[in-house]
Structure 1
């Protein structure tokens, strides 16, 4: 299969547009087929032997092999670009780790407007000012001039900080350029059983609800539905998934992204029947309703 054919096949399989550029060995940004809501949420990487397409919205990842119809001279050129891109990727990842570590060292523990909006007025987290974010990480991480400070959530793989998520006052989320989030998580609390959540607000909602029931769990913020499934395979002991109530997608057989990936695991899971996640349920119906929903998941009755 030609390079163009492999690009078309991989992109079509995950529901994204082929990229306009043809650089090799590095992720190229493109749009999904979901219109303006999917702008910039597609990724494609072209290597000398295969093409991989990724849909950020759904977490789908497809790799298509390239056939032997590439001239040796062209194949050598592509291979050289791929190796250069790999070196840059490693350098970018190391830089993201340094930036995340520096931001964590600079951050102060305090309350934050985002947490208040989410219903946790007294909740404290690592908070870093916009000026420090610009100084340490760059202007691209601050979405607007009116931003004052962000909650910083470190992303760890095997205990090693690989990136960080910044959440600003209005809920805008930013990840560090070049940082790795595949298989990464943030531990919100430690205990006996483990709960896997996608977002930080969901994670602290689950922790608060269970603590109110005198249950002390380990709660992990996994950043995405695909990451929930990846991390689930590494969990030992009893574990549960606090899934989200996503928009049904045709490519997932009418399931939302969160439930699709939850079903890929062998863990009990459930999703709220009000709002898109358990924090929405908490804000609209109260913590006791969340507790009943989580109890149902633990009893194996949470899945719709």
Structure 2
């Protein structure tokens, strides 16, 4: 694999644009594939032996290793660099956790335009105004025109390790350096567990489960790949509500011809469901056709799981 191929593969895996220029050992800024709302929210680092891409909107990183013949000394140097970066990442994560806790403690429950747009005008979530977010966390967290954001605590083992901010138009931001791997946000409790990517999807899923009288825990996992990590921590019955993503454009066979949502849902080993229409999620289905199609998907997924257990 050439360096350019490695850069393209790493960026494509997490939905960011390859950088126009880069320097070895330094993070290069780029954009995500989310358009204007993702401007400047991608980072790429090129080293002697790997390329690491980082999507600040989703918090997901992906590394592609380069094929190279290295001497033992080169391997030792590389290992030392990896250890140094791991320690730096740990410090950054701890700093981000402190910032996240300050933002969460400053937020107050309120209605929000994003919730109305997603079909939940009466729903209240933690919110905080742009000025406070800018003061506590930094200007990069506030998109152009952002006035007030939904603040979603990102927890690992019950502790707040980061936040996701959702702005009026749907722009999503994570804290730089915050931990996302294995993290989730709980929006309901019950005897079975459902995992999904996004907050609005979680609300639609909660509504469908509640209307079916199925008390369930709904966990927002923030990205398709992170569903796999969260699924490993769940005991008891667990299901996945996947987004129906299209296969990646740059490398359509990267996920075996599947979209990222279905690929990682399968990788979780849990029963899963997703809407029929490519490019949509459960909330899209809910907003477009109402709660009944979502209920039908839930029932189909649970029946298939019951049949497999009985077989």
- State the TM-score, normalizing by the size of structure 2: 0.81
In structure 2, how many angstroms separate the alpha carbons of the residues matched to 1:268 and 1:79?
A: 39
RMSD: 3.3
Inter-CA distance 40–202: structure 2 relative to 1 (3 Å threshold): same
SS of residue matched to 2:268? coil
Residue matched to 2:182 = 183
For residue 199 of structure 2, what is the aligned residue in structure 1?
200
**1:289 offset after TM fit, Å?**
1.7
**What is the alpha-carbon distance in structure 2 between the residues aligned to residue 202 and residue 264 of structure 1?**
20
Unaligned stretches of 5+ in structure 2? Answer: 13-17, 306-311
* Alpha-carbon distance in structure 2 between the residues aligned to 1:155 and 1:80: 30
Q: 1:286 aligns with which of 272, 282, 290?
A: 290
Distance 2:82 2:258 in 1: 36
Deviation at 1:291, TM superposition (A): 0.9
Aligned to 2:106: 106
* More moved, 56-65 vs 115-124: 56-65
Residue equivalent to 2:263:
260
Q: For the residues of structure 2 that align with 1:221 and 1:85, how far apart are their CA atoms? A: 28
Distance change in 2, residues 1:99/1:28 (3 Å): same
Q: Provide closer, same or farther for how the CA distance between residues 222 and 242 of structure 1 changes in structure 2, counting only shifts above 3 A.
A: same
Q: What is the deviation of 1:253? A: 2.8
Question: Does the C-alpha gap of structure 1 residues 80 and 241 become closer, same or farther in structure 2, counting only changes over 3 Å?
Answer: closer
Q: Which has the higher contact order (CA 8 A, sep 6+)?
A: 2
Whether contact under 8 Å (2:244, 2:281) holds in the other structure is yes
Distance 1:156 1:68 in 2: 39
Unmatched segments (≥5 aa) in structure 1? none
TM-score using structure 1 length:
0.82
